[in-house]
């Protein structure tokens, strides 16, 4: 059929059928699928215009899907002030509403609101016999109020536990004790308090106390006890019957916990020995095993996987040397770094030392790329370290954040961010967030 000239009316016989050209042939056509009307024949110029070919009309192809947007780059972590007004904060414990209890080494316990806006007055009922070292000594002395942890059944019994230094009334001898009390619902007072554990022996001096507390998955309380620094007493870290240089595991009443290793003549609750100054404890979120951070002397700071009955070597073996020794001439205390019956650290630093404080495994959602990492707060190094792990193997150590301030502790908050405590007279809580 010839094309109709422009401007000429269409004849009646050329009026198109109501049947659209794309419809199949009806039954009257014999079902061939080809329309019998000339105006319904295939129109190749339509197919060509639509990008088709072969003389057959086809629908225009669907547009290509838009490319997926590129993932947004991860926002770098940043350290922001969360709460100031604290004096030598040592530890914190989160409550169920996201607020926290914070210890100050001079002997105070405070409550901080979940948003950091409110810092309470000192909570009443903290033991009056906390012995705190002067804050003016250089190098600094270390006695005072240390850790705070909640009872596994805190929601029903309101119990908390404090570690601190108690001094004899008739001498300079002192040592770590663990105290248990109940926090009133208004968060203003501790009541029904008593000492449940006392370190033995007590000696003079005001350094290397340990003092870290942690409940394991069985509901038993782990307590770290340092060697007390003095050369004439540090050998007691290797004597099972002495409380110096040990980790003990206790019931909530302070008695030796069931399942502890059997060590003849061991100090009550003995879990492990051969420690110098254990400052951090954490339970591995997958294995449930106990990990520990420990100060060496000049160098020799350690991260240990602490097994029941394990001997961690101090002072028979070490990666550190005496403080007065030039680093270039550093000879390990004990004469070597390993011995057949001593447990080797998973990793160590120095010399020089970083002075590790608290440690925490990361399991939050705020930094998915950090899942399973171990974080280490460093006092002397003034930084936050991240350890990448494969099981109990340390694959990589990263000085993640140079904070420029002595970091006493690191904790993961219920909001998925990390919280840091600065060891300063004008102490702060800092938050690591995106």
Alpha-carbon Rg for the chain in angstroms: 35
Q: Torsions phi, psi of 44, nearest 5? A: -60, -30
pLDDT above 90 (res 54): no
pLDDT level of residue 72 (50, 70, 90 thresholds): low
Q: Alpha-carbon distance 211 to 231, whole Å?
A: 20
pLDDT in tens, 111-159: 999 999 999 999 999 999 999 999 888 778 999 999 999 999 999 999 9
The terminus-to-terminus CA distance of the chain in angstroms comes to: 72
CATH number of 80-355: 2.120.10.30
The DSSP result for 82-131, as a single string, is EEEEESSEEEEEE-TTS-EEEEETTTEEEEE-TTS--BPPPPBT--TTB-
Query: DSSP 3-state assignment of 359?
Result: strand
Q: Where are the domains of the chain?
A: 80-355
Q: Give the bridge partners for 182, in sequence order.
A: 159, 191
Per-residue model confidence as pLDDT tens digits over 199-214: 999 999 999 999 999 9
What is the distance between the alpha carbons of residues 278 and 227, in angstroms, rounded to a whole number?
Answer: 9
Query: In this model, does residue 292 exceed pLDDT 80?
Result: yes
- Of the candidates 160, 178, 156, the one whose C-alpha atom is nearest the C-alpha of residue 248 is 178
Residue 305 C-alpha from the chain's centroid: 16
pLDDT on residue 140: 83
Helix (H) or strand (E) holding 154, with range, is: helix 154-157
CA torsion 358-300-290-381 (nearest 10°) is: 20
Q: What is the pLDDT of residue 9?
A: 46
The span from the CA of 349 to the CA of 339, in Å, is: 19
Mean per-residue pLDDT, 373-381: 98
The counts of H helices and E strands in the chain are 2, 23
Residue 400 has φ and ψ, to the nearest 5°, of: -70, -50
Tens of pLDDT along 380-427?
Answer: 999 999 999 999 999 999 999 999 999 999 999 999 999 999 999 999
The 10s digit of each residue's pLDDT in 75-125 is: 899 999 999 999 999 999 999 999 999 999 999 999 999 999 999 999 999
Asked if residues 415 and 397 have their Cβ atoms less than 8 Å apart, the reply is: no
Could you tell me the CA-to-CA distances from 295 to 61, 135, 205, 277 in Å, in that order? 70, 20, 17, 5
**Residue 22: other Cβ atoms inside 10 A:** 10
Q: What is the DSSP string of 25-57?
A: P-GGGTS-S---SGGGS--HHHHHHTT--TT--
What lies within 8 Å, CB to CB, of 347 at 6+ separation is 302, 303, 387, 394, 397
The model's pLDDT over 217-268, given as tens digits with 9 standing for 90+, comes to 999 999 999 999 998 999 999 999 999 999 999 999 999 999 999 999 999 9
DSSP tag of 173: -
| Residue 89, strand partner residues | 104
- Indicate the pairing of strand 290-295 with strand 277-283: antiparallel
Burial of 136 (0-12, 13-18, 19+ CB in 10 A): exposed
Q: What is the spatial distance between Cα 208 and Cα 236, in angstroms, rounded to a whole number?
A: 13
The pLDDT confidence band at residue 26, using thresholds 50, 70 and 90, is very low
CB atoms within 10 A of CB 370: 20
């Amino acid at each position: 059929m010839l094309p109709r000239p422009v401007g000429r009316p269409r004849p009646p016989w050329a009026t198109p059928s109501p049947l659209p050209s794309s419809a199949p042939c009806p039954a009257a056509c014999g079902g061939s699928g080809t329309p019998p009307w000339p105006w319904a024949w295939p129109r190749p110029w339509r197919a060509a215009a639509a990008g088709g070919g072969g003389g057959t009309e086809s629908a225009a192809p669907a547009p290509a899907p838009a490319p997926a947007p590129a993932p947004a780059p991860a926002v770098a972590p940043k350290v922001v002030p969360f709460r100031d007004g604290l004096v030598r904060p040592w530890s914190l414990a989160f409550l169920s509403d996201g607020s926290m209890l914070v210890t100050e080494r001079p002997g105070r316990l405070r409550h901080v609101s979940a948003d950091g806006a409110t810092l309470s007055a000192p909570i009443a009922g903290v033991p009056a016999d906390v012995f705190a070292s002067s804050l003016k000594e250089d190098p600094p002395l270390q006695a005072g109020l240390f850790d705070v942890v909640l009872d596994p059944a805190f929601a029903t019994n309101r119990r908390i536990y404090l570690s601190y230094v108690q001094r004899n009334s008739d001498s300079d001898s002192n040592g770590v004790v663990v105290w248990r009390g109940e926090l009133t619902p208004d968060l203003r007072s501790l009541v029904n308090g008593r000492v449940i554990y006392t370190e033995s022996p007590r000696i003079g001096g005001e350094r290397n106390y340990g003092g870290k507390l942690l409940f394991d998955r069985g509901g038993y309380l782990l307590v770290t006890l340092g060697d007390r620094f003095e050369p004439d007493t540090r050998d007691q870290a290797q004597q099972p019957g002495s409380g110096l240089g040990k980790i003990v595991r206790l019931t909530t009443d302070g008695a030796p916990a069931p399942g502890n290793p059997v060590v003849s003549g061991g100090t009550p609750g003995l879990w492990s020995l051969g420690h110098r100054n254990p400052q951090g404890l954490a339970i591995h979120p997958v294995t449930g095993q106990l990990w520990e951070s420990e100060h060496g002397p000049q160098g020799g700071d350690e991260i240990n996987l602490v097994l029941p009955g394990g001997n961690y070597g101090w002072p028979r073996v070490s990666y550190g040397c005496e403080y007065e020794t030039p680093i270039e001439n550093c000879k390990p205390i004990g004469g070597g770094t390993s011995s057949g019956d001593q447990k080797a650290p998973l990793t160590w630093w120095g010399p020089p030392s970083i002075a590790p404080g608290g440690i925490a495994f990361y399991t939050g959602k705020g930094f998915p790329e950090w899942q399973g990492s171990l974080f280490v707060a460093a006092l002397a190094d003034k930084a936050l370290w991240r350890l990448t792990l494969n099981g109990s193997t340390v694959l990589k150590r990263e000085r993640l954040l140079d904070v420029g301030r002595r970091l006493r502790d690191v904790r993961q908050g219920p909001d998925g961010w990390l919280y840091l405590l600065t060891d300063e007279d004008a102490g702060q809580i800092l938050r690591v967030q995106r």
